[in-house]
Amino acid sequence: MTSSVNETAPGALRWLLGSIAVFLISLTFGAVLPDGLNWFLVEIGKPKFEITPLTRFFSVVIVFLSASVAELALWMRSSMSGVSSMVRQALAQEMTPALESALVGALLPQLRTHDDAARKAGELIQTFSSALSTVPPSLMRAHSVLFERGLADLTSMIAQVHHDGLDVDINEHIEISRRCAERASSFVTINRSAFKVPTEWTKDWCQFVEELGQRRIAKEYIVLMTKRDLTASVSKINGMRTYLEERGWTLRTCDSHDVQESLGGVLPTEANVDVFDRRVAKLQQPPHGGYRGGIKLRLTIVDLDSSQELRRFVDRVLSIAV
């Protein structure tokens, strides 16, 4: 509000000073205008007219009104130019997201009702466009080979993630979990091992645990093992419980044999499973040995609505865990 007043005050002062200047000029010019007209009439051979105080008064009024109209026209033109600039800027700010949304909707109609996914897709399209913009037109056909190879590799990677799995660096696993948890209201990780924490966890995973601990999201760690292994790992599990509860997490344990029996004797996966809002599951094959930086782990991402078998598994673990 203060900024608006400060910007308006100089404008009002300029208008007042301009009006005073117009009046003084009109007074001077209007007072001598009749004399000028008489001189012109004499020059063209016409008779002069009588100049009275009333004539000079009306001359001043006419000149002042004419000058005021001209001043008003100039002011309106200047103001409309400013308004037009503001409108164009506002339209640009509003239209850019709208155009991006329309583009994403045209290219990916399945995202039209998913604002967050459409926004992320728009960011990816912009990133790809930025890469294309760095290529000179004369070299586009040559660079197209590289772009096509990259897109083919990307298509293959996505297919692997949805089916047989893709080997991904452990840090990328954590980053995927981090981004999936950004918009989630609940996060559950089902792990097939117990650990001595924090020494047997990577620094990046510990940081992720800390990050979620500071957020208002339901977060739970479930250790899924046989009853025998759970008993043998009680010391590690107690240490994990203390570590996690201090950071706002909940830890539970679950007998894998009970889950297996409830599912007809077969578990659908031996992988560790991260679950987001009970809608999306990220499967990660347990490492050979302990977790450490640089290792690659098999990754699969599943929409639980498309895999009833995996959904039943998750539901059974959540209901049996204590």
pLDDT, one tens digit for every residue, the chain (322 residues): 444 444 445 556 666 676 677 677 766 776 777 777 777 777 777 777 777 777 777 777 777 777 777 767 766 666 666 655 665 565 445 445 655 666 666 666 766 667 777 777 777 878 878 888 888 888 888 888 988 898 898 888 888 888 888 888 888 888 888 888 888 899 999 998 888 888 888 888 899 999 998 888 999 999 999 999 999 999 999 999 999 999 999 999 999 999 988 888 888 888 899 999 888 999 988 876 666 666 788 888 888 888 888 899 999 999 998 9
- Give the count of beta carbons closer than 10 Å to the beta carbon of residue 208: 20
CATH 3.30.870 fits 166-320, yes or no: yes
Tokens, residue 162:
């949805």
Of 66, 67, 62, 56, whose CA–CA distance to 20 is shortest? Answer: 67
104: number of Cβ within 10 Å: 21
User: For the CA atoms of the chain, what is the radius of gyration?
Assistant: 38
Cβ count within 10 A of residue 122: 20
Other residues' Cβ atoms within 10 Å of the Cβ of residue 51: 13
The conformation of residue 279, written as its DSSP 8-state character, comes to T
Q: Where in the chain is the domain with CATH 3.30.870?
A: 166-320
